Structure 1
């Protein structure tokens, strides 16, 4: 009998397994369909000895001190500020759009003040910003939308930006200065030993048992447990009884080249050309030195493991119906990007997991080993009658 079954060994499941085992001293069975821990953040050394991310680049950034403090128990950090270039009109230009982007694209010498006037002259008036297209055209105008956003978004999501929630492009800022960092968070670092090493340390607890290449449906009626945390697709948990929620997937092509560097930054986007959305070169992330370099090409698809919930109004409405079913489940917690149908960053998933653990602490008395230790302590106070 396990105190907890946790389905999924990514950030959500692993953080909760660690908290439950270390703070509540309860037993956890952590399972995952894949043959490794770490979920989509899994990294490993390839044949060239280069640390690569099997499921595309994962760049850690956050403004939350509590999340930094928590993860720092399991890793040291390597400073890294992510920079991305976009291949537009035959030029590699900074994205998010900034002062250098516009000056290099149009061969101008604008100042920050002039750039604001430039954007203002091109913006379209949108009475109500509802879609991903609305966000961009109301900020920088239609020409830049077509050059930088529309093609990339259509490849990534399989539909036109006009059919997607505004949250898709609202994640990408527009700057009038020369700040070419992709993120603006105060904390931008990579786990010094990689994500997998961080997960290994997080899960290094005798109360945590891990079963890989294991499907939840195959063991749920065979291995006894008291409570469950589920981080998989919420519609799958309910046997798709209300219909399937759309998820977007990715196909990856990994390559190693006999050159020290392939591109000037870790990631280059291709909004106008190519079938892939971007190329990642991992040595920029890790700081490794090698005469070879390893890359990943990303091809979005509807086939394969679910990666991204598709942010459309009808999908959110269907999720709300599944959420109502989940609310009626006793002793089951739904956590993470797939289980709550949200496009979360890694730090947001960690925050959600820590918040879920806080609710567990408030709502549930300790069981398992904690309860046994309490009973043994009470018995010890009367050791003459009840020797321990």
Structure 2
């Protein structure tokens, strides 16, 4: 008899498995339908010995010392500040858009103060900011929107920015200084020996039994367990009874080149050309020294594993139907991106998992009966 059956061995499931095993001394069965742990953050060594991210680049960054300190129990870190270039009009320029981006693109020599005025002259007045298009054109104008955002967003989401919630492009700031870092968080690091090593240490507790290549449906009625933590797609848990929640997927092409370097930064975006959205070169991220270099080309897709919940109002309405079912389901906790149909960064998932553990601890004394106890991490009021 397991105290917990945890479905999904990514950040949400693995963090909770470790906390329940360590702090509550409870027995956990942690399963994943893939043949590995680590979820989308899984990394591995290719045939040439290069460390690559199987599901595209995962860059750890956070402003939370609590989250950083928690993960530091399971890994040493390598300092890394992520930089991205966008290939626009035949040249590679920094993204997010900054002072150097505009000066190089237009052959100007503006100062930061002048760039503020330059943006203001081009920004369109929008009454209510609702869509991703509204966010950009109201900040930097339509020309930069067309160059940097419209084509990239159409490839990434299969939709025009005017059809997507404002949250999509709000994630990418616009700067008037020369800061070319993609993120500005206080803590910007990569696990020194990779994410998979970190996950392996996280779930190495003797109270945790890990089973990969295992589907929830294969074990839920076979393996005795008291409670469930579910981090998979919430619509799948309820057999799609209201219909499928829309997701955007990705296809990855991994390539090894017989030369030490291919590009000057970790990621180059392609908003105007190519079928792929971006190219990642992992040695920038990992610091690995090697005579060869490994790249990943990302091709967005309508089919495949669910990666990105599509932020449209009608999709949120559909999710709310499933959320109501989840809140009424005893002894099951829904945690993570797929279970709460929201895009989270890795640190946010860790924070959500730690907050869920605290609420479980408060609501459920060790050894207590779980009947009538319900916590859903996806509810806005419960998020940390």
When the two structures are superposed, what TM-score results if normalisation uses the length of structure 1? 0.94
Aligned to 1:286: 286
Larger Rg: 1
Trace 1:199-210 onto structure 2 (pairs within 5 A).
Answer: 199-210=199-210
3-state SS of the aligned residue for 1:209?
A: strand
Aligned to 2:11: 11
Trace 1:124-163 onto structure 2 (pairs within 5 A).
Answer: 124-163=124-163
How far 1:367 sits from its partner (Å)?
2.2
How far 1:218 sits from its partner (Å)?
1.2
How far 1:288 sits from its partner (Å)?
1.1
Trace 1:1-388 onto structure 2 (pairs within 5 A).
Answer: 1-367=1-367
How far 1:197 sits from its partner (Å)?
0.4
3-state SS of the aligned residue for 1:254?
A: strand
3-state SS of the aligned residue for 1:352?
A: helix
Aligned to 1:376: none
Whole-angstrom distance in 2 between the partners of 1:367 and 1:205: 19
* 5+ residue gaps, structure 2: 369-384
Whole-angstrom distance in 2 between the partners of 1:263 and 1:196: 25
Aligned to 1:379: none
How far 1:365 sits from its partner (Å)?
1.3
Whole-angstrom distance in 1 between the partners of 2:121 and 2:48: 50
3-state SS of the aligned residue for 1:92?
A: strand
Aligned to 1:385: none
How far 1:128 sits from its partner (Å)?
0.2
Whole-angstrom distance in 2 between the partners of 1:68 and 1:18: 16
How far 1:291 sits from its partner (Å)?
1.2
3-state SS of the aligned residue for 1:240?
A: coil
How far 1:69 sits from its partner (Å)?
0.8
1:160-204 CA deviation, whole Å, 9 max, x = no partner?
Answer: 010000000000000000000000101000000100000000001
Whole-angstrom distance in 2 between the partners of 1:244 and 1:49: 39
Whole-angstrom distance in 2 between the partners of 1:129 and 1:121: 18
3-state SS of the aligned residue for 1:143?
A: helix
3-state SS of the aligned residue for 1:26?
A: coil
Count of aligned residue pairs for this structure pair: 368
3-state SS of the aligned residue for 2:260?
A: coil
Whole-angstrom distance in 2 between the partners of 1:339 and 1:108: 48
3-state SS of the aligned residue for 1:174?
A: coil
1:45-104 CA deviation, whole Å, 9 max, x = no partner?
Answer: 111111100000000000001101100000011000000000000000000000000000
Whole-angstrom distance in 1 between the partners of 2:360 and 2:113: 51
Whole-angstrom distance in 2 between the partners of 1:220 and 1:8: 13
Whole-angstrom distance in 1 between the partners of 2:67 and 2:168: 24
3-state SS of the aligned residue for 2:338?
A: coil
1:329-377 CA deviation, whole Å, 9 max, x = no partner?
Answer: 1110000000000100000000000000000000001029xxxxxxxxx
3-state SS of the aligned residue for 1:4?
A: strand
When the two structures are superposed, what TM-score results if normalisation uses the length of structure 2? 0.95
How far 1:289 sits from its partner (Å)?
1.2
How far 1:155 sits from its partner (Å)?
0.5
1:226-270 CA deviation, whole Å, 9 max, x = no partner?
Answer: 000000000000000011100111000000001110000000000
